[in-house]
Structure 1
Amino acid sequence: MNSEWLNFLQGSGAEIENECVTSFGNPEQERHVVSSGDVMCDLSHLAVLEVSGDDSADFLQNQFTNDIGALDIGKSQLDGWCSPKGRLLVLFHVIRHENNKFLLLLPEELRDYAQKRLQMFVMRSSVTIDDLSNQLVRIGVSGPDAEQQLSSLVDHLPENIDDTVNANNIQVIRLRPTLYQRFLVITDSIHAEKVWSHLDVQSTPVSREPWELLDIRAGAPSITLKTQESFVPQMVNLQALNGLSFTKGCYPGQEVVARMEYLGKLKRKMYRITILDESTPADGSSLYSKSSSSPQGAGEIVSVQKDGDGVWEGLAVLEVAIADAGDLTLHEDETIPVTVQELTAKD
């Protein structure tokens, strides 16, 4: 985290550990307010890589699951990066900043892995990969008045999901909504202080956990160290989230992904889940069902966070055949039931 930005957040009441905001003094209130009020969140848990150079578009086109060539300047999209076996290594939010300049947002814990692995494939291409995580500030904004608050900072707001607007040294991206509209703001630390102070009049600052709860409610998956290589793109709904192209050409794992789409039947897919339990489930945790006979188990948690009522809400990839069985549990001893819901159109 940029030192100036870190000092500013601490001065604004943030409790920080390992350069990430853990809370603003009342975690329980923060989990409540995301469901009903205006919130803002420092997103330093998301790293930013910049891929630039004359060959940058072709380079990314040959690596990612989505069609980089069709991504216009001022647009963004979800992109998966797969192993040769078609399993997801990283999920990126890719923003085409200029013709030959792209910003890649990804979990901080995967930053070094992704940067080093991408660099392996550059070879003689005119491509540069830089880490801009300490240069750019990321702020999440959500709530019933989010649009009104941001509209006074930029000339106009992006109209559609994944659209971006650049104005007054501030970039705004419209994200997938939950009950309310959500936005991602990217800027430098000086302008970030202005944005934060402006929002602070009406919005409640929250830590990453409540923000990740909104991602879960929006049906937006993430890949972490615990879930790398666990899922093919279709399992986490990439085809419905504008994150997967079947016409763009080759990329690592493309044959496996295409075979799943055209020849196979998707036996596992992503659902929303809730868990009533005092223990702490985590991404990558296995789920169990007496109705399952699969050696791989009934399912795996993609992401999970606690809401304001103490209920764990999450996304999980489950066997389709057992999703309606009603006997899904967190542990093999069957003592902690897991409730399953289909992703809705909004998700």
Structure 2
Amino acid sequence: MIIGFNSANLLQSRHRLNYLTNNMTHSIQAQLVKLENWQAISVSGDDTNKYLNSQVTCDLASLADTQASFGCHCDAKGKLWSQFYLIPTNGETLLFQHKTTLAKSATELSKFGVFSKVNIKAESENYEFYAVIGDISNLVETELNQTKALETGFLCKLSDGLQLYVKSKAEQIEPILTNLNSADESLFTQQLSLKVLPFITEQHISEFVPQMLNSHAIGGISFKKGCYMGQETVARMRYLGKNKRACFAFTAEASSQIEIGNTIEVETDSSWRRVGQIIQVTTHDNSAAGLAVLASDIEIGAKYRVKESPDTCVIIQALPYSLDY
């Protein structure tokens, strides 16, 4: 037994967490969440697609007019300034992301944008964002990574049971969505975590390469397009097998003291060894969930804890998709 860590308490915590995790992943009644901490960089103009294609990892040239996509904006060394969800709308392209990465990403995009016919704004003046969480197939049909035009904006399906509602600021809530129960933004963050759809906050700007956040696995990187900022590093991570990290979901008890930037450790024969750090965490209802960048070869069933809170057990979840290229 490792000194300073109560194995009996750990076992009890693991049993409780397995129960809570099963409840988190069951079918959720459809709910509407206003996203106060999320916005989008707006890019418009005749050269929008051509210019963005020279700056970000996804291939805009291969996207249909109504097709959305995950993508990344990197520095010259291939480190992330932002991870975003690209949404085409009438007259502008939106790069949806956490508000804390907007300023840096928009500033860097604007540096070279002066040489192209583009208009770049750090926040969209026309749209605000909601999440629709749960099954809404009885209200409207949506397809994965496709924008569906509504009377008041657009719906985009990020994953099963998770839609992004892009609402015109000049309009009221879409009539078919007005009867949905409202929920706290923590539910959106929880669902992003459980579905392992990573976004970074300002704390981790210029720290990770895209593959460490599974960007290639969720359609956020094209390895066939032309040059873009950071491409050499991103390609090296694939073709030379340089990347040894990946993003995983974890769950913990709601009372856990966990913060972004905390370290996750794994139990070894005689001690605890660092395996990565937390990039997202939230508490909703009776449980906590988050994302951590860990060694890509971790053992899912091993015992993990938070270094800064040694009595806090976390359970690492198996990925819902493959990391293969």
Task: Tell me the TM-score normalised to structure 2 length.
Answer: 0.82
Question: Structure 1 pair 212/35, CA: closer, same or farther in 2 (3 Å)?
Answer: farther
Identify which of 287, 312, 316 aligns with 1:336.
312
Q: How far apart, in 2, do the equivalents of 1:135 and 1:187 lie?
A: 8
The runs of 5 or more residues in structure 2 that have no matched partner are 1-22
Q: How far apart, in 2, do the equivalents of 1:218 and 1:324 lie?
A: 16
CA contact (8 A) 2:58 2:222 kept: yes
Deviation for aligned residue 1:346: 9.4
CA contact (8 A) 1:47 1:105 kept: yes
Corresponding residue number in structure 2 for 1:81: 73
CA contact (8 A) 1:291 1:322 kept: no
Identify which of 287, 300, 319 aligns with 2:277.
300
Corresponding residue number in structure 2 for 1:148: 138
Worse-superposed segment, 63-72 or 226-235: 226-235
Q: How far apart, in 1, do the equivalents of 2:53 and 2:118 lie?
A: 13
Corresponding residue number in structure 1 for 2:4: none
Q: How far apart, in 1, do the equivalents of 2:38 and 2:75 lie?
A: 22
Q: How far apart, in 2, do the equivalents of 1:321 and 1:75 lie?
A: 33
The AA in structure 2 aligned to 1:238 is S
Q: How far apart, in 2, do the equivalents of 1:198 and 1:85 lie?
A: 45
Corresponding residue number in structure 2 for 1:186: 166
User: Pairwise mapping of residues 24-173 of structure 1 onto structure 2 (< 5 A)?
Assistant: 36-97=28-89, 101-144=92-135, 146-149=136-139, 151=140, 157-158=141-142, 160-173=143-156
Q: How far apart, in 2, do the equivalents of 1:96 and 1:194 lie?
A: 20
Deviation for aligned residue 1:189: 3.2
Identity of aligned residues (%): 26
Identify which of 235, 244, 268 aligns with 2:212.
235
Deviation for aligned residue 1:290: 5.2
Deviation for aligned residue 1:51: 0.8
Deviation for aligned residue 1:277: 6.0
CA contact (8 A) 2:250 2:317 kept: yes
Deviation for aligned residue 1:210: 1.1
Helix, strand or coil for the counterpart of 1:117?
Answer: helix
Once superposed, which parts of structure 1, at least 4 consecutive aligned residues long, lie more than 4 Å away?
31-35
Q: How far apart, in 1, do the equivalents of 2:222 and 2:238 lie?
A: 11
Q: How far apart, in 1, do the equivalents of 2:67 and 2:310 lie?
A: 46
Q: How far apart, in 2, do the equivalents of 1:69 and 1:299 lie?
A: 35
Question: Structure 1 pair 277/186, CA: closer, same or farther in 2 (3 Å)?
Answer: closer
Corresponding residue number in structure 1 for 2:261: 284
Helix, strand or coil for the counterpart of 1:250?
Answer: coil
Corresponding residue number in structure 1 for 2:5: none
Deviation for aligned residue 1:77: 0.4
Q: How far apart, in 2, do the equivalents of 1:283 and 1:101 lie?
A: 33
Residues 242-264 of structure 1 deviation map (CA, whole Å, 9 limit, x = unaligned): 10111112222211111110112
The AA in structure 2 aligned to 1:128 is N
Helix, strand or coil for the counterpart of 1:235?
Answer: helix
Corresponding residue number in structure 1 for 2:290: 314
Corresponding residue number in structure 2 for 1:4: none
The AA in structure 1 aligned to 2:183 is V
CA contact (8 A) 1:72 1:96 kept: no
Deviation for aligned residue 1:233: 1.1
Give aligned pairs, total: 298
The AA in structure 2 aligned to 1:253 is G
Corresponding residue number in structure 2 for 1:13: none
Deviation for aligned residue 1:130: 2.5
Question: Structure 1 pair 77/291, CA: closer, same or farther in 2 (3 Å)?
Answer: same
Residues 173-207 of structure 1 deviation map (CA, whole Å, 9 limit, x = unaligned): 12212xxx22222222343x242x65342x22112
Corresponding residue number in structure 2 for 1:213: 190
Question: Structure 1 pair 73/256, CA: closer, same or farther in 2 (3 Å)?
Answer: same
Helix, strand or coil for the counterpart of 2:258?
Answer: coil
Q: How far apart, in 2, do the equivalents of 1:33 and 1:341 lie?
A: 11
Residues 216-251 of structure 1 deviation map (CA, whole Å, 9 limit, x = unaligned): 122110110112223211111111101011111222
The runs of 5 or more residues in structure 1 that have no matched partner are 1-30, 152-156
Q: How far apart, in 1, do the equivalents of 2:263 and 2:170 lie?
A: 43
Helix, strand or coil for the counterpart of 2:193?
Answer: helix
The AA in structure 2 aligned to 1:256 is T
Deviation for aligned residue 1:322: 4.1
Question: Structure 1 pair 61/285, CA: closer, same or farther in 2 (3 Å)?
Answer: same
Corresponding residue number in structure 2 for 1:18: none
Question: Structure 1 pair 271/126, CA: closer, same or farther in 2 (3 Å)?
Answer: same
CA contact (8 A) 2:70 2:219 kept: yes
Deviation for aligned residue 1:164: 0.8
